[in-house]
Amino acid sequence: MLRSVSCDTSKNCSQRALPIIGFVACVLFWGWSLIAVGAETPAENRRCAVVEFYLSGSLAAEWTAADEVEVFAARRGGIELVVRDIEADPSALERFGRIRTGYREPNWQTPLAYACGQALKAETAEELIAGLENALVVEVFTRRGCSRCERVKAWLPGVMPRFPAWRLSFRELSTDAAATRRLQQLVSMHQASAASVPVIHVCGRLVIGFDQAETTGKRIEDLLTTWSRPCPGHADSTQWKRRSVFQLVRLQNSSRGLARPPPPAEEPFQLPLPPLPVGAVPDRPTAEEANEVEHETTEATGIELPWLG
């Protein structure tokens, strides 16, 4: 026999409705969770940011710095670290010279990190890591009422899971004075003629405006693709994050007469080198010139470079 139960007061109705509301909320939560898991970017489609770390193998302090950068890369995930010893590898020394020439910094010495369209020079591992964290940010400057801004804000979050090392930072110009100053700094650095919104700062380049995914969006993806490579293993495992530190070749200090391990069978992935300035001759430093103890430069440089597509 069915009975209809009516609520005498609104309080009783609310109390009886609470279990139903809780059940519905749980169903919605788990439903959306399953959708999110199903929509996660497959591991084989993810691309890891490549960080080249140049050091002088005879300097123990620089190996210590490499260890600290390795820990940072493993903690952040989505990074492949390639350590290049300019004393043991002539090709590493040659690449190091090309980077110095490309950035017009002939006095740069090791250690030096090269990633995401930027050469990062610092005195300490902490400063290098801070530079890498800044380099691995996609800054998006927007303004209220801008339809193109809304378009890029809707498009970018769907693309970035393919590039797990990078972080998105949306900066609202109409309410954030610091964002305005930062944009002015970038426009001056890159010598841009104008900066209509949105402005996307990615891998040392400014992308001004946003048309559609097939045009402006493709240019942004191409920039991220240039400075990354397919990630190894499975992106959803802790072990994969640790393996994403790629071929950290621990060459021992040759002055102590310790045996060196054989070189890796496969040449590590190489990032594109900066183009040479007009009329410049490639810098070919000796290992002794590149690892002098006195370091005078402490900076993170993101010079505007021609398109490396």
- For every residue of 28-69, DSSP letters joined together read HHHHHHHHHHHTSPPGGG-EEEEEEEEE-TT-HHHHHHHHHH
pLDDT at 239: 34
Model confidence at 267, pLDDT cuts 50, 70, 90, reads low
pLDDT value at position 270?
A: 76
Q: What is the rounded radius of gyration, in angstroms, for the C-alpha atoms of the chain?
A: 25
CA gap 241, 262 in Å, rounded: 25
Where does the pLDDT of residue 40 fall: very low under 50, low under 70, confident under 90, or very high at 90 and above?
A: low
Q: What is the mean pLDDT of residues 129-152?
A: 96
Q: For residue 241, which phi and psi values (nearest 5 degrees)? A: -60, -40
Q: For residue range 90-104, list pLDDT tens digits in order.
A: 999 999 999 999 999
Structure tokens at 165: 């090392």
Give the CA angle between residues 203, 207, 209 to the nearest 5°. Answer: 155
Cβ count near 239 (within 10 Å): 9
Distance between CA 165 and CA 158 in Å, rounded? 15
Name every residue whose Cβ is closer than 8 Å to that of residue 112 and which is 6 or more positions away in sequence: 53, 54, 96, 99, 119, 120, 121
Whether the per-residue pLDDT at 143 is higher than 80: the answer is yes
The residue that leads in pLDDT, 44 or 60, is: 60
For 240, residues 6+ apart whose C-beta sits below 8 A from its C-beta are 43, 231, 232, 233, 234
Q: Give the pair of three-digit tokens for residue 92.
A: 């590493």
Contact predicate 112/84, CB 8 Å:
no
Predicted pLDDT of residue 54:
96
Report the distance separating Cα 59 and Cα 72, nearest Å.
21
CA–CA gap between residue 32 and residue 38 (Å, rounded): 10
Can you give the pLDDT at residue 287? 58
Q: Which of 271, 273, 302, 266 is nearest to 80 (CA)?
A: 271
What is the reported pTM?
0.70
Higher pLDDT pick, 248 / 283? 283
